[in-house]
Structure 1
C-alpha cells in the first residue's frame, strides 16, 4: 500500500492552516514529518486520513483518490482535541469506547480481556492523563489498529506530552515492522534528538513516481538509543546501515 500526498494545502477562516506539502509513505515504512506547532500538523493528519478535504492538491491511496477509502484505511492517533481521549476518564472507559466504535464487544468482560491480552490490566482504573507517554502511545496505537481495515497510522504530535522521544518512537517503529504505513508528525527538536531525516511541512519533499528522494527518509528508523555515543546512522527495515545526511 502507498499513500501519496501531492501539494496538499489547507486554508482556514483566518488564513493558511497547511502550506502546500507533498510526501509519500508505504506499507512497512515509518515517515517522520516535522514542522512548527502552528505549521499544520493536525491539518495534514486529517487530510491524509480523508477527514478533511484539502483546498488544493490530492491524496492518493494506491493511485486512486477518495476520502471514504482513506477514512477506512488510515487511523489518526491522539490528534489534539480531535481523537485524543478525555484526560480525566479512566483507561477502561477509553478502551470500552474505542472497542465500541470499532464494532467489537465493549462490555466489562470484553474490556478486561482486552486489557489483559495487551498487558495493560494494571492501568484499568488509572486516569488517562496520568499514563506515562510510552504507555499512552502504545495503548492508542493498539486501539487504532484494532479497527477493521486499518493499514496506516498517523501519530499527531506525540512529543507534546514531553519525555524521551523514544517513548513514542519505538511503538511507532514496531507498527512499521508489522507492515503498517506509519507517519509521525512531530517537532523539529524531536527529529534532531532521534537523528532521523524527516519530510517537512510546507515542502514538496521531492516525491516522484517511486520515491521521495534518493535518501528515502521514510526508511529512517532508529534501531538503538540515539543517545548512545558513537551512533551516526540509521538502518532500514532490512538492517542495512547508512550514514545520515549532513544537515
Structure 2
C-alpha cells in the first residue's frame, strides 16, 4: 500500500506523568504535554533541572521510571530501540558531540557511512560503488542545505576543522548530521548556550525551518523562543516569575489563569502544579539536580 501524500513525516510526541528517578533523586517528574508532528518543542529550564534527561528519555536513550510517553506512536519506556530508530541526536554534551580534530567533511562522510552500515538494506549494500557514492553525496547535500550550512563560507571549506567553527556553525553541522538519516524527530541540547542575540535568533530560525519542513524538533534551552511549544521540568515560580505553559500555549502567548487546562486542548502542559507536587522545596531541588547528574552519568557510561 502506498503512503498517503499528506501523511506527516514528523513524529508526534505525547507524555503523561512522565518521570525519571536517579539514585539520589528525581531527574524530572510529572511532565505532561502533547506535540503534533512537525512541532518545535523547547524544553526550558535552568541547568541541572533534568532538561537533558527528559530529552534523552523522549528519544529512547534513557529509561523513564514513572508515567509513559509516545514518540511517533512508539510507547516509552517500553520500546526504547524503536524510538531510537526514528529519532536522531544533534549536539548533546557528553552523549553526542563533535570531534574537534575532525573536519566538517570527515564528520559528514562518517555519518553517511554509519547510516548505510546500520540502517541500510542489504540491497543498498550491494549497489555499485558509484551509485552508493552518488546517494551519499545527495544525502549530504540535502542535509547541509536544510541546516543552512554554507560550506563555501567556512575558512577552509568542508576541510575546516570543527575546532575552527563558530558556535552557530557547529550547531548547523550537528543539525545536518542528525538530518542525514532522515529521522522523524531530532533532539538538541544547550541550543542557546553562549550564543549572541543575533546568533540565537538564527539558531531558532533554523530549527523552525526544520520543523516547518516536517521534522519534529526537541530543543533544550534556557529560554524558549516565541512560537515554540514550551515545556518545563520545574515549577512556575522557579522560572524567575515566568509562568509555565500549563495549557500548551507558546512562549509568547498570554499566560492563562490558575484554572485547570482544557481537556480537549490537545496540548497539556509540562510544568506540574506546585501545590500538588512540592518539588520546589530546597531539599527536593537538590535531589532533582543530583538525580539528573546521576542519570546522565549512567548514560555516558552505557
Superposed pair shares fold, TM > 0.5: yes
Matched ranges for 1:1-247 at <5 A:
1-65=11-75, 66-103=79-116, 114=140, 118=145, 119-121=150-152, 122=154, 123-148=157-182, 150-164=183-197, 165-187=200-222, 190-191=223-224, 194=226, 198-202=230-234, 216-217=249-250, 244-246=253-255
Contact 2:29–2:66, Cα closer than 8 Å, also in 1: no
Distance in 2 (CA, whole Å) between partners of 1:62 and 1:124 is: 34
1:22 shift after superposition: 2.0
Identify, as 1 or 2, the structure richer in strand. Answer: 1
Q: TM-score scaled by structure 1? A: 0.72
Instruction: Output one character per residue of 1:23-53: Cα deviation in whole Å (capped at 9) or x when no partner.
Output: 2222121111101110112211110111111
Distance 1:213 1:194, change over 3 A: closer
Q: How many angstroms does 1:81 deviate by?
A: 1.2
- Cα RMSD between the aligned structures? 3.2
How far is 1:179 from its partner?
A: 0.8
CA distance in 2, matches of 1:198, 1:33: 6
Partners of 2:58 and 2:39 lie apart in 1 by 15
Indicate the SS of the match to 1:102.
helix
Q: Summarize the Cα distance change of 1:60–1:81 in structure 2 as closer, same or farther, 3 Å threshold.
A: same
Contact 1:133 1:168 in 2 (8 A): no
Q: Deviation digits for residues 142-170 of structure 1, max 9, x if unmatched?
A: 2212115x101112112224323213211
How far, CA to CA, are the matches of 2:47 and 2:93 in structure 1? 11
**Structure 1 residue 112: Cα displacement:** 11
Do 1:6 and 1:23's aligned partners in 2 also have CA atoms closer than 8 Å? yes
**1:73/1:113 Cα in 2 relative to 1: closer, same or farther (>3 Å)?**
closer
Shift of 1:79: 0.5
The number of residues matched between the two structures is: 211
- Any unmatched runs of 5+ in structure 2? 1-10, 118-128, 237-244, 257-302
TM-score normalised to structure 2 length: 0.60
Distance of aligned partners of 1:76 and 1:114 in 2 relative to their CA distance in 1, 3 Å threshold: closer
Paired position in structure 2 for 1:229: none
Deviations 1:172-231 (A, max 9, x none): 0001110111121101xx33x758662211469xxxxxxx865543xx6xxxxxxxxxxx
